[in-house]
A and B are shown apart, each in its own frame.
Chain A
Amino acid sequence: MSFLPQLIFLIILGAASFFLIKRVKFLRRNIFLGKSETRNDQPDKRWKTMLLVAFGQQKMFKRFIPAFLHFFVYVGFLVINLEVLEFVLDGVLGTHRLFAPFLGGVYTAAMNLFEFLAFTVLLSCVIFLIRRNVVKVPRFTKPEMKGWPALDGNLILVIEIVLMLAILTMNATDQILAVRGAEHYLVVGNLFFSGILHPVFTGMSTESLIFVERASWWFHIVGILAFAIYVTYSKHLHIFLAFPNTWYSNLKPKGEMENMPAVTNEVNMMLGIPTDAPADPPAEIGRFGAKDINDLSWINVMNAYSCTECGRCTSECPANLTGKKLSPRKIMMDVRDRAEEVGKSLDAGGKGLEDGKSLLGDYITKEELNACTSCNACVEACPVNIDPLAIILDMRRYVAMEESGTPQQWNAMFQNMETSFAPWKFSPQDRFNWAEQVKEEEIK
């Protein structure tokens, strides 16, 4: 027995692991370009949120058809990965269907379940391709989806279809070979879905079948490893990041904006209120608000890497619905793109954040930021609890406080508030005038 296939397998597995670890380190470093923030209060609630929203797909089911199809792909991913364990062990040990002799009928049942899932994944992916490219569901054809994002979406679906076809082809040829009594091949019983493919292969010689079976096996396992690496370049990263992303969900009321303690200290000093701020202010006060990714929290950046560009946020954004430039999905894509750009630059010994570019201006325009009504529709819509609003509001803070770049009408509103304590230009003395009339009315 030749050990060559095992050796080749180990080399491929090792190389894939090496690249994968390198990519994970790259992503991790990029996410932590964001500011530190501790958000681990209420762990019970966090685990529950993760279980319901990520594991349980709770928010997906607000739109039933895609949720249903996605559920098959999701369960397929979780369950078929159990089979990958056998694949890897077979590859390393040079065995074939290692678990079959131990599990007997259970193995047959498991294989049928895997095949059923492979079939439903395949079917769902085909429908998803049709939705994207034939039906052209509006949220997949927005301007930010042109080019790579559209290709990325289609590539993922095609890869998944091809991988599932490989499993079914492998099982079909494997069982034909087993029935013919070919060496190493075990009869595992009746496999329904790959059985459908039998007529395609029964006319082939044993040698050809062995070739097809081995090719499918190698294609599937190498394909999965390659896909795992591809995922780190792709929006498909949500399959892993959805879990930490939901664990770190914002558990506060959605309407609450995070306080800025640095501002509180200054306001208290101006108003002569004693503060518990340190007597010596830190030598370097950070920027107010967010201009670039390092001004955002690492959770904002993780949000961006968790985004799979489904566009549910954008399809419910009142600004986007009425033709404004703002798209919450684009905000998340921009944060990710900028983090990638900075990360790549740092790895190449470049200037990183000091490259003269920034998230504001080079990626996200004021026009987009100004269009937001802070209605939280995007936050509510996100199936993995991404918060585009937090980023928008933080960037508005930078525009207002560091650039004094807010629209003229907002500046007028600020001025009214400073002088008349109301956003409109009314005399503060007149604030109570509304009561005069009612005070004269007799109670009926």
Chain B
Amino acid sequence: MSTYKVPTMAEMAGKGESPEVLFWVGCAGSFDDRYKAVTQAFVKILNKVGVSFAVLGPEEACTGDPARRAGNEFLFQMQAVANIQVMNGYNIKKVVTACPHCFNTIKNEYPALGGKYEVIHHSQFLQQLINEGKVALQGGGEFKGKKITFHDSCYLGRANNVYEAPRDVIKALDVELVEMKRCKTKGLCCGAGGAQMFKEPEPGKKDINIERTEEALATGASTIAVGCPFCLTMMTDGVKNKEKEAEVKVYDLAEMIAKDMGI
């Protein structure tokens, strides 16, 4: 019996190897207690399927997205240029990440600073693995036949027009996918984008995540699926606020696939 492997780029380079794809973990995936479980679920899937991957480990730094959205272009570019130097140093060609903010920044904003990679979101990566038959779904897991709703992350959806990949992943689990009233191009933000994750909201009559959670709960779904660490936090907090955490769970797509695979 062997254990899961999480090779770093440095280790691989030391052996003169290079992986097919860099898994960009992101800050939430590295430090947020809840999202670490998503990172772990995703590397388990990668191990199980036999994908040649590596992470940057301690060499990774924040992409700079929240600094840029909060207006601090200097700080953003300092982060970006340093990351690009590391990635170009390893001659990285393809990046997969479970964070739509990292996805958007590396895919769309790093090229102007000299970082040109093929970047995909983990929902797209999972969709490909499922389509290629590499992920053997059992379909009889805890989600079978359950009502599941998907909350579109703004940085995946409107920002980059990825709407179908996460839905295809969910459908592959043999579940009933139910849509919220505001979905896809009309999806309502969880409230955390644009660096809102890092400050209290402005004065208002309601928090955005509560508005969105109410909509998700109205579908009657027992699981709210997300594909973004900030959305995961906001929706989880919303469900707790509504005291529904016993009946309704918030999961990332990778966790759902890993659960179904029994890993």
- Of all chain B residues, the one with the shortest Cβ separation from A389 is B194
B202 lies within 8 A of A423 (CB): no
- Of all chain A residues, the one with the shortest Cβ separation from B33 is A434
- Of all chain A residues, the one with the shortest Cβ separation from B154 is A375
B1, B25, B62, B109: which contacts A442 (Cβ < 8 A)? B1
B66 lies within 8 A of A413 (CB): yes
Complex CA distance for A421 and B194, rounded to whole angstroms? 18
A183 at the interface (CB under 8 A from B): no
Q: Which residue, B40, B64, B67, B194, has most C-beta atoms of chain A within 10 A?
A: B194
User: Which one of A45-53, A98-106, A390-398 contacts B?
Assistant: A390-398
B109 lies within 8 A of A422 (CB): no
- Of all chain A residues, the one with the shortest Cβ separation from B5 is A439
User: A391-419: which have CB < 8 Å to B?
Assistant: 393, 396-401, 406-407, 409-410, 412-414, 417-418
A152 at the interface (CB under 8 A from B): no
User: A338-388: which have CB < 8 Å to B?
Assistant: 367, 370-377, 379-380
- Of all chain B residues, the one with the shortest Cβ separation from A399 is B71
Residues of B within 8 A of A443 (CB): 1-4, 44, 47-48, 263
User: Which one of A142-150, A225-233, A264-272 contacts B?
Assistant: A264-272
Tell me, rounded to whole Å, the shortest Cβ–Cβ distance linking B97 to chain A: 14
B104 lies within 8 A of A375 (CB): no
1/0 contact trace for A304-328 toward B, CB 8 Å?
0000000000001011011111100
Q: A267-B78, A267-B81, A374-B193 in contact; A435/B202 too (CB < 8 A)?
A: no
Number of A residues with CB within 8 Å of any CB on chain B: 76
B204 lies within 8 A of A323 (CB): yes
Q: A414-B72, A414-B75, A421-B61 in contact; A322/B158 too (CB < 8 A)?
A: no
B1, B29, B161: which contacts A434 (Cβ < 8 A)? B29
Number of B residues with CB within 8 Å of any CB on chain A: 82
A413 lies within 8 A of B198 (CB): yes
Complex CA distance for A322 and B95, rounded to whole angstroms? 36
Complex CA distance for A109 and B176, rounded to whole angstroms? 54
Complex CA distance for A379 and B206, rounded to whole angstroms? 23
Q: List 20 A-B contacts (CB under 8 A).
A: A255-B154, A255-B158, A255-B159, A257-B69, A263-B74, A319-B208, A323-B205, A323-B206, A374-B194, A393-B71, A401-B73, A406-B70, A409-B198, A409-B199, A409-B200, A424-B32, A432-B8, A432-B58, A442-B1, A444-B262
Q: Report the 8 A-B pairs with minimum CB-CB distance, sorted nearest first.
A: A255-B159, A400-B71, A374-B194, A323-B205, A396-B71, A421-B61, A323-B204, A375-B189
Contacts A413-B199, A414-B67 known; 12 new A-B pairs at CB < 8 A: A252-B108, A253-B159, A255-B108, A255-B155, A256-B108, A268-B81, A289-B73, A375-B193, A399-B71, A406-B70, A407-B199, A413-B195
